[in-house]
Amino acid sequence: MTSGLEFRVTPATPVPAAERAKLIEDPGFGKLFTDHMVTIEWTEGKGWHDAELRPRAPFSLDPASAVLHYAQEIFEGMKAYRGRGGEITMFRPEQNARRFNESAARMAMPQIPEDLFLEAVEKIVAADRDWIPDGDGSLYLRPFMFSDEVFLGVRPAAHYIFCVIASPVGPYFKGGGKPVTIWVSDTYTRAATGGTGAAKCGGNYAGSLIAQAEAIRQGCDQVVFLDAAERRWVEELGGMNVFFVMDDGSIVTPPLGTILPGITRASLIELARADGVKVEEKPYSFDEWKADAESGRLREVFACGTAAVVAAIGKVRFVGGEFSIGDASTAGPVTQKLREALVGIQRGESNDERGWIRKIA
């Protein structure tokens, strides 16, 4: 595939193979990076230019670069996998390209042609393919864009850098799939109607970190946010969508709007519905959650996203109490089945009926 923009290629001096192999044995999450990066620049009046695949290196930024002051920054998170047969694949990358542009629109940033986004991602995957761990690891790709115009006036910037870096990763949560505990924040919210909740922008994360820190202090793994208007409706975790499995087998998940439209979320909804499961995208309140957990109507809860895939939630803590879901120590059958169905497709181990897998040459 080509976007029409010529990529200048400057090969990196790679980390020696033996050292690389040792590094990716236990890569952790997001702390190890590959040899290359892709950068493409955008200038007002000129569009996208200077596409490069080059050695990963620090940026040199002027202290007045707009992103450092007004946070015009968006990103994506996606993975490349190495299948049993050695083939390299990605999961629905065109969805990430589309969402990236939706985030860009919300943040008054330029659109990047989807072909160019995909070409950039494929270029770094191909160049750094030896960094993809075997087994259940993968190569996490982080496309992002920020404004680096040197200007302190407040308006959309006139110059941006699009970049893709890659990080070999293992499981997001340590604990081998054991359910996580989450903290319900009654102090902080993540997004309001008309705000940036549906955009994948760094600013959303900046605003969520204090709540995440509170969750850790409360002995929890993650925070879950309620809506900003009423502090009543469950929205999502800091970086994952959430699903509720009822005793009649049906599933409820919060509707789109102020939450991030997860590709994992959309894929799981489609897989569950294809399996005859009733999935409702509808508001679900924290009060209902508590009552349904206590009555036993609620059987399973899980969070989902590219990084952690599907993570069971076993315990919920809030100001004034705590409750469990199921036996709180193992992922329930619906959570496990959906996780396996999705991972099977992502890893090329089951039939890709929906054309979700893209092979990287």
Binding status of residue 35 toward ligand PLP by CB under 6 A: no
Q: Which of 39, 264, 335, 346 binds ligand PLP (CB under 6 A)?
A: 264
In whole angstroms, the minimum distance from the beta carbon of 294 to ligand PLP comes to 27
Binding status of residue 170 toward ligand PLP by CB under 6 A: no
Per-residue contact string for residues 61-100; x = within reach of ligand PLP by CB under 6 A: ----------------x-----------------------
Binding status of residue 200 toward ligand PLP by CB under 6 A: yes
In whole angstroms, the minimum distance from the beta carbon of 163 to ligand PLP comes to 17
Among residues 3 and 346, whose Cβ is nearest to ligand PLP?
Answer: 346
In whole angstroms, the minimum distance from the beta carbon of 264 to ligand PLP comes to 3
Per CB under 6 A, contacts with ligand PLP among 294-353 are: 305-306
Per CB under 6 A, contacts with ligand PLP among 213-242 are: 236, 239-241
In whole angstroms, the minimum distance from the beta carbon of 268 to ligand PLP comes to 9
> From CA 37, how far away is CA 42, in angstroms rounded?
17
- Of 359, 347, 350, which Cα lies nearest the Cα of 138? 347
Binding status of residue 262 toward ligand PLP by CB under 6 A: yes
In whole angstroms, the minimum distance from the beta carbon of 297 to ligand PLP comes to 26
In whole angstroms, the minimum distance from the beta carbon of 14 to ligand PLP comes to 29
Binding site for ligand PLP (CB under 6 A): 77, 200, 236, 239-241, 260, 262-265, 305-306
